[in-house]
Amino acid sequence: MIKVKYKKLGKEKVWGLADSQGIIYLDSRLKGKKHLEILIHETLHLLYPEDSEDEIVEKSIVLTNIVWNQRYRRLEEEKKMRLQDGTL
């Protein structure tokens, strides 16, 4: 299971980090499309650890643009709907 935590990452000079425990740290100041990009980027690191940084960047940008162009926007918590695997 992947978990996401938020904290300021300015000292690390990154927008996001993924650790070997399956935790993604995102800079709490991220907004909008950049938030989506970094979330996808760090998730890909966990799902495909063998991929190079360049491959992860390329894939994360493609996925971000697809999702963003479909008008995905981050909203506040709403009524949760189950995913295809039955989880919330």
Per-residue model confidence as pLDDT tens for the chain (88 residues): 899 999 999 999 999 999 999 999 999 999 999 999 999 999 999 999 999 999 999 999 999 999 999 998 887 666 676 777 777 6
Residue 16's φ and ψ, nearest 5 degrees, are -160, 160
Per the CB < 8 A criterion, the answer to whether 22 and 42 are in contact is no
Per the CB < 8 A criterion, the answer to whether 36 and 73 are in contact is no
Of 21, 37, 44, whose CA–CA distance to 72 is shortest? 37
Number of Cβ within a 10 Å radius of residue 57: 14
Which two tokens mark 2?
Answer: 């992947």
Per the CB < 8 A criterion, the answer to whether 35 and 4 are in contact is no
